Amino acid sequence: MKIAVCAKQIPDPATPYELDPEHHWIVRPDDQILDDTDRYGVEIGLQLAEASEGSVTLFSMSPAGNLQGIRQALAMGADKAVIVSDPALKGSDALVTAKVLARAIQQEGFDLVIAGTESTDGSAGVLPQQLSELLEVPALTFAKAVEHDGDTIRIHRQTPDGYDEVEATLPAVLTVTAGVVEPRYPTFKGIMQAKQKPVEQLTAADLGFDATEVGAAGSAQYVRSVTPVPARQAGEIVEDDGEAYRKILEVLEQAKVV
Amino acid sequence: MKVWVFSEEHHGRPAASTLELLAKAREYGEATVFHVGPGGDAVFDELGDHGAAEVHHLDPGATLPAAPAAAALADLVGDAKAVLFGMGNLDRDVAGRLSVRMNRPVASNALDVISEDEGQAVVTEILGGTLRVVKAITADDPAIVIVRSKAFTAEPVGGSAPTVVPVAMPDVGHSGAVRVLERHEEPSEGPDLEAAEIVVSGGRGLGDAERFTIVNELAELLGGAVGATRAVVDAGWVPYSLQVGQTGKTVKPKVYLAAGISGAMQHVVGMKDSSIIIAINKDPEAPIFGIADLGVVGDVHQVLPKLIEALREREG
Ligand SMILES: Cc1cc2nc3c(=O)[nH]c(=O)nc-3n(C[C@H](O)[C@H](O)[C@H](O)COP(=O)(O)OP(=O)(O)OC[C@H]3O[C@@H](n4cnc5c(N)ncnc54)[C@H](O)[C@@H]3O)c2cc1C
Ligand SMILES: Nc1ncnc2c1ncn2[C@@H]1O[C@H](COP(=O)(O)O)[C@@H](O)[C@H]1O
């Protein structure tokens, strides 16, 4: 099985995000990390590849930076990476990003494309579905368990109060929820090998895009204003001395819920 | 101008998000529904009661209908003003595909849609609800918008039964070949999380699945609903239906009690509009204290048993 895994590099969520004052885009440092959400996709991709003597290629669109995010996914065991990186792509919305990734994936060829359900920094939550429509394949979305049997992929699809068993045949797109598997930690050997693995870097033009079709120019939405939301006032903080439950009781009484 | 609402049903009634979207749609234009599901008079009448004049109905049977639904919608909506979706999984599947079919962007996580001289825009909040963003849509209508739960308040307006137009499943070839083999429902107990006046939520700080049950005990005693963080859901302690946050439910109860929850941005967006927030966490630096009306720095397994005992005594 030829597996394409979407892997987004994002600024470390443990650091405060900054917006550039002109366009209000997230400032992307050189040392972006792998979106934690995509570690699940990488893990599922590796498991499916191991079971089918297949391969895993990572696809990512973002400033390449020092590539540490992509190296993280390569160190887990992915075979290679294709990164679309171009100043012209700055300001791309989900639809444009989907178009770019679709073309890169198509150029490489695929049986299965795996993505997360939503990115940690953007959380548009629609890119994989856009990819599936662009690639003209079925989408098995919100999987919390994945099985495969030859050309058939079957998932447990998360529903509001349980799950549906759903299946489709390849080629297809699959999106996985966090918690679907326990992503493996890179081994020392994996980390060393990752340094040698092929990372192909493409520009928008390499994929046949005109500069007006991508980036902010190609995106039909833009941030017009950003204003701080008045912060909720923090209230009283008490240290529990064994009696703090009384405070809680008081608040419940004042709220007339007991 | 037509404003379309993507509609689904849940236990034989329109989904909560559908009715919320209708409240906006009927004020924003001519509310028109695209309904996916078995349908039936009870569902259609309730949609009418909430202001839908016309319901286009697609019954997908045992197909996961994202691709055919998007194809049918693309044919129907023409140059309507907007197509509104909820945050549900099928909503997102259809919105994404519709966006490609119509070559229009999707505006996600919207709290409102507004119409201005320059065109339409959506209002959203980013970075854990700390910044309010106005995003202008420059594409031709319709605007394709995914709206967060509880952005609008559902309210029946006494509308009459709508005109129902059956929609045939379009043949979209391989893209549409997704089969639903079986549905599994986990039984839920207690009051509805999204409607409850009191929500008692637990996080990883509860320790393990067994010790989490103290949250259930307290919720039951207060007549409230149980909520949880994604960390707890991912660990398998409680089902996904209890998850509060960005990728779970949005709640706005009178009282939200957060036990052993750090207060990550993605959790906070789902509960920050609760009237009163009480937090118990042993880490005085936990971000949840930044939004709590009452913060107790302490061990949940010390504080909660005493609270439960005191409540029991009151009840006598
Ligand atoms: C795209 C995306 C979407 C997400 N969506 C959601 C979502 O919808 N909902 C959601 O909740 N999360 C969501 N998350 C995850 C979120 O970022 C956090 O990881 C999660 O909310 C943390 O859960 P927690 O507070 O239970 O765990 P932790 O962050 O581990 O916090 C546990 C807390 O318990 C405290 N504690 C430990 N022991 C005790 C004790 N004995 N007594 C008192 N306190 C104790 C600790 O001090 C700590 O603050 C999402 C993440 C991403 C990337
Ligand atoms: N720039 C990107 N490069 C690679 N994958 C991406 C990119 N943006 C989004 N994705 C994938 O699409 C999923 C959903 O992203 P989004 O629609 O942006 O919330 C993510 O979890 C990733 O798997």
Report the predicted TM-score, pTM, of the whole model to 2 decimal places: 0.96
Helix (H, G, I), strand (E, B) or coil at B157: coil
Q: Whose CA is nearest to atom 29 of ligand 1?
A: B262
B68-99 pLDDT tens trace: 999 999 999 999 999 999 999 999 999 999 99
CATH superfamily, region A2-232: HUPs (3.40.50.620)
Cα-to-centroid distance, B230 and ligand 1 (Å): 7
User: Ligand 1: residues within 6 Å at CB?
Assistant: A 36-37, 118, 120, 123; B 203-205, 229-232, 243-248, 260-262, 264, 266-267, 270, 280-283, 286, 299-301
A85-129 pLDDT tens trace: 999 999 999 999 999 999 999 999 999 999 999 999 988 999 999
Residue of A3, A5, A6 to mutate, ligand 2, most atoms within 8 A of C-beta: A6
A175-194 pLDDT tens trace: 999 878 999 999 999 999 99
Residue A134 contacts B where some CB pair is shorter than 8 Å: yes
Residue A199 contacts B where some CB pair is shorter than 8 Å: no
Provide the pairing of β-strand A172-176 with A139-149: parallel
Mean pLDDT within A243-255: 96
Residue B198 binned pLDDT confidence (cut-offs 50, 70, 90)? very high
pLDDT at A137: 98
- Evaluate if residue B315 carries a pLDDT over 90: no
What is the CB-side half-sphere exposure of residue B273 using CA atoms within 13 A?
16
- Would you list the DSSP string of B51-113? T-SEEEEE--TTB--HHHHHHHHHHHHTT-SEEEE-SSHHHHHHHHHHHHHHT--EEEEEEEE
Residues B77, B83 contacting (CB under 8 angstroms): yes
A37 lines ligand 2 (CB under 6 A): yes
The answer to whether the CB atoms of B133 and A236 lie below 8 A apart is: no
Cα-to-centroid distance, B170 and ligand 2 (Å): 29
Query: Distance (Å, rounded) from C-alpha B89 to C-alpha B311?
Result: 39
What are the backbone angles phi and psi of residue B315, rounded to the nearest 5°?
-65, -30
Please name the member of B92, B186, B198 whose beta carbon is closest to the beta carbon of A257: B198
Mean pLDDT within A194-208: 97
- Evaluate if residue A255 carries a pLDDT over 90: yes
Please name the member of B134, B257, B311 whose beta carbon is closest to the beta carbon of A225: B134
Cβ-based contacts of A165 with chain B (< 8 Å): 180-184
Residues in chain A: 258
Ligand number nearest CA of A244 is 1
Query: Distance (Å, rounded) from C-alpha B309 to C-alpha B260?
Result: 19
Provide the pairing of β-strand B198-202 with B255-259: parallel
Residue of B nearest to A240 (CA): B298
Mean pLDDT within B42-55: 98
Torsion of CA B118, B120, B126, B132, to 10 degrees: 60
Q: What does the mean pLDDT of chain B come to?
A: 96
Å between B281 CA and nearest CA of chain A: 10
Both tokens of residue A25? 């885009």
Helix (H, G, I), strand (E, B) or coil at A240: coil
pLDDT at A147: 96
Q: Which atom of ligand 1 is nearest to the CA of B204?
A: 26
Does the ipTM exceed 0.90? yes
Ligand number nearest CA of B106 is 2
- Evaluate if residue A163 carries a pLDDT over 90: yes
Query: Distance (Å, rounded) from C-alpha A109 to C-alpha B100?
Result: 20
Burial of B27 (0-12, 13-18, 19+ CB in 10 A): exposed
- Evaluate if residue B287 carries a pLDDT over 90: yes
Other Cβ atoms less than 10 A from the Cβ of A20: the count is 11
Mean pLDDT within A26-37: 94
Tokens 């419940």 belong to A252
Residue B190 binned pLDDT confidence (cut-offs 50, 70, 90)? confident
| Residue of B186, B294, B311 to mutate for A, most A C-beta atoms under 10 A | B294
Helix (H) or strand (E) holding A239: strand A236-239
Both tokens of residue A62? 């973002």
A209-214 LR contacts (CB < 8 Å, sep 24+): A209/A88, A209/A99, A209/A100, A209/A103, A211/A88, A213/A96, A213/A99, A214/A86, A214/A88, A214/A89, A214/A92, A214/A96, A214/A99, A214/A100
pLDDT at A179: 77
Residue B166 binned pLDDT confidence (cut-offs 50, 70, 90)? very high
Tokens 């990003």 belong to A97
| Exposure letters A33-63 (e unless 16+ CB within 10 A, then b) | bbbebbbbbbbbbbbbbeeeebebbbbbbbe
Closest by CA position to B213, among listed B231, B228, B197? B228
B241-286 pLDDT tens trace: 999 999 999 999 999 999 999 999 999 999 999 999 999 999 999 9
A198 lines ligand 2 (CB under 6 A): no
Question: What are the residue ranges spanned by the domains of chain A?
Answer: 2-232
Mean pLDDT within B178-187: 93
Residue of A56, A59, A95, A127 to mutate, ligand 2, most atoms within 8 A of C-beta: A127
pLDDT at A233: 83
Beta bridge pairs of residue B116: B119
